[in-house]
Chain A
Amino acid sequence: MTVLLLHWAMGFATLAFALSGIFAGIRLFRGPTAQDRVVALDVLYQSAMLLMLVLGMRFGTQVYFEVSLLIALVGFVGSIALAKFLLRGEVIE
């Protein structure tokens, strides 16, 4: 009973975050401006991070937690770098 409940809930969460990544990918692919693509990349890494957390619960290991923490750290640095490039890259030109 509890196994089945957890199974369906984790399956739904996995599918939902995978679909979130696909939606972010659509916006990343077709976004009309560069800032749209930066936001889409931000959402993409965040949904990947949450997907890793759900997969860690699903398989019962703590390894996925570290993957998730790494994705959060590196993704934040990447988003900040892209936003600063949008801000300053054109000032210099």
Chain B
Amino acid sequence: MIGLPEAVPLWAAIPVSLLLVLAGILGLVGTFGLVRLSNFYQRLHGPAMLNTLGAGSVLIASMLYFSVLQTRPVVHELLITIFVLLTAPVTTMLVIKAALFRDRRASRGDVPEDPTLAGGRVTGQREE
């Protein structure tokens, strides 16, 4: 009727279901924060829940489900896990840099000044 296989035992169905429900709740909360929060820099914190723990839960659930279903270890979801964990911070850092640049350029006032322009001594800066 539903189309799901009967071969999945209960000890595997319970963690898969729990992980899926957890990931769904995390995704809902994170993106609801993306809609509801008032500031751009606050809004960046919502999707991080979807990125890290939500994606991890779905990928672990998928690995467990297909491993039990095919009675062999299925680990190729680790590719997506590693890729998401590597790329999400890069994207966030670049977007934050762009947003800081644009806000400073528009002189919005609620963004702190560039420390290299304020005359402060900045350590660890790269020469280009």
Q: Which residues of A22-80 have CB atoms within 8 Å of chain B's CB atoms?
A: 23-24, 26-27, 33-36, 38-40, 42-43, 46-47, 49-50, 53-54, 56-60, 62, 65, 68-69, 72-73, 76, 79-80
Q: Are A76 and B91 in contact (CB under 8 A)?
A: yes
Determine if A79 and B34 form an interchain contact, defined as CB atoms under 8 angstroms apart: no
B2 CB to nearest chain A CB (Å): 5
A50 with B102, Cβ < 8 A, contacts A27-B34, A72-B80 known: no
Interface bin, chain A: 35 or more
* Given A24-B34, A87-B94: A35 touches B102 (CB 8 Å cut-off): yes
The one of A2, A9, A72 that contacts B84, using a Cβ cutoff of 8 Å = A72
Contact indicator B28/A33 (Cβ below 8 Å): no
Contact of A38 among B3, B32, B77, B95 (CB under 8 A): B95
Summarize B's interface: helix, strand, loop or mixed. helix
Is B71 at the interface (CB under 8 A from chain A)? no
The verdict on B111 contacting chain A, using a C-beta distance below 8 Å, is no
Report chain A residues within 8 Å CB of B35: 23, 26-27
Taking a contact as CB atoms under 8 Å apart, the answer to whether A20 and B80 are in contact is: no
Residue of A6, A12, A15, A19 most packed against chain B (CB within 10 A): A6
Q: Residues of A contacting B66 with CB < 8 Å?
A: 57, 62
| Residues on the A chain within 8 Å of B44, using CB | 39
User: Which B residues fall within an 8 A CB radius of A?
Assistant: 2-6, 8-10, 13-14, 16-18, 20-21, 23-25, 27-28, 30-32, 34-35, 40, 43-44, 47, 50-51, 54-55, 58-59, 61-62, 65-66, 69, 76-77, 79-80, 83-84, 87, 90-91, 94-95, 97-99, 101-102, 105
Instruction: List 17 other contacts, CB 8 Å, given A17-B27, A50-B54, A80-B91.
Output: A2-B9, A2-B10, A9-B21, A21-B31, A23-B32, A24-B34, A39-B44, A46-B55, A47-B50, A50-B27, A54-B20, A57-B61, A65-B76, A65-B77, A79-B95, A84-B98, A87-B101
